[in-house]
Amino acid sequence: MKKQNIGTPAYHLTFRTRAFNFISHVALTVLSVIWLFPVFWLLLNSFREESGAYTSYFLPKGLTFQNYINLFTNTGLYDFPLWFMNTLIVAIFSCLITTMFVLMTSYVFSRLRFPARRPMMNIMLVLGMFPGFMSMVAVYHVLKLMNLTQTLTGLVIVYSAGAALSYYIAKGFFDTIPRALDEAATIDGASKNTVFWRITLPMSRPIITFTLLSSFIAPWVDFIFVSVLMKGKADKFTVALGLRQMIERETVSAYFTQFCAGAVVVSIPLVILFLMTQKHYVGGITGGATKG
């Protein structure tokens, strides 16, 4: 008799769980539609046959590939392929430097102890709160002093020099890696240098991916710094600045669909990168590391 009584709530619970699961899936579907909607609209516009910026309908009247072809062949007024290469070069270099700087700084603040540590952390925290482009005029003059304005090198420097300021996220991550691992290695005779390269970094894939990714994106989306630095030098533009120029008021109706095509092309490397690195975000890495 008693056994049945135990069985009933268990059955009840699975029903509830199933209902929750169903609701979860519905909610996720609705949310995904909302979030993907602008992306979908961007794609549609990039294939739209008729030009014009403001349409009164959602689905295009005709589809064509011409916008993409124009983007790469019609380089007279807007040289998109060149901008794309510029951005790629700047993004690769600045994301490598930025990631190194961020990892180095956050490892130091997470694991090493020295007198200047806390003051430095506080100062950096405060520095990071100043709006970056507030000092753009000064940065411009500093770079001019080094003869680096209107060059891609200058742009890489601008994007990566302040990297140390964004140490907190990686430091928060390093703090969750068990310290026992470091201590074990130190007992085995490893120097701090070895611990950093051989133990901490290999365990930090998620945060490395995150840092690489976010710093790789920066040059693609920024246009304030690049507009100050490359003023009037169209062959050193990055895609953000170039594309934004396409939809200035005078050219928006003629170039809007081409702008969308350009935006899609810019997004493609970023999307691929994302799908490749997605798995690093998933799956805990420190679970059980000390036990083994």
Instruction: In angstroms, give the least distance from the CB of 162 to another protein.
Output: 5
Q: Which is nearer to another protein, 89 or 206 (CB)?
A: 206
- Using CB under 8 A as the binding criterion, the count of chain residues that bind another protein stands at 104
Nearest to 47 by CA among 31, 75, 70, 13: 70
Binding mask 127-166 for another protein (x = CB under 8 A): xxxxx-xxxxxxx-xx--------------xx-xxxxxxx
Q: Which is nearer to another protein, 163 or 212 (CB)?
A: 163
Is residue 57 a contact partner of residue 41, using CB atoms and an 8 Å limit? no
Instruction: In angstroms, give the least distance from the CB of 263 to another protein.
Output: 4
Q: Which stretch binds another protein (CB under 8 A): 5-13, 60-68, 70-78, 112-120?
A: 112-120
Q: Which is nearer to another protein, 76 or 287 (CB)?
A: 287
Cα angle 151, 157, 161 (rounded to 5 degrees) comes to: 165
Instruction: In angstroms, give the least distance from the CB of 208 to another protein.
Output: 12
Using CB under 8 A as the binding rule, the residues of this chain from 238 to 277 that contact another protein are 240, 243-244, 247, 256, 260, 263, 266-267, 270-271, 273-275
Binding mask 11-40 for another protein (x = CB under 8 A): ------xx-xx--xx-xx--xx-xxx-xx-
Instruction: In angstroms, give the least distance from the CB of 233 to another protein.
Output: 18
Is residue 101 a contact partner of residue 163, using CB atoms and an 8 Å limit? yes
Q: What are the two backbone dihedrals, phi and then psi, of residue 189, each rounded to the nearest 5 degrees?
A: 95, 15
What is the residue type of 71? L
Using CB under 8 A as the binding rule, the residues of this chain from 52 to 111 that contact another protein are 53-58, 101, 104-105, 107-108
Structure tokens given for 252: 């928006």
Using CB under 8 A as the binding rule, the residues of this chain from 163 to 192 that contact another protein are 163-166, 168-169, 171-173, 175-180, 191-192
Q: Which of 47, 196, 237, 255 binds another protein (CB under 8 A)?
A: 196
Q: Which of 9, 76, 119, 283 binds another protein (CB under 8 A)?
A: 283
Instruction: In angstroms, give the least distance from the CB of 12 to another protein.
Output: 15
Torsion of CA 41, 71, 49, 221, to 10 degrees: 10
Instruction: In angstroms, give the least distance from the CB of 125 to another protein.
Output: 6
CB contact set of 235 (below 8 Å; sequence gap of 6+): 79, 82
Q: Which is nearer to another protein, 1 or 35 (CB)?
A: 35
Q: Which of 63, 224, 231, 235 binds another protein (CB under 8 A)?
A: 224
Q: Which is nearer to another protein, 1 or 108 (CB)?
A: 108
Instruction: In angstroms, give the least distance from the CB of 196 to another protein.
Output: 8
For the chain, state the CA radius of gyration. Answer: 25
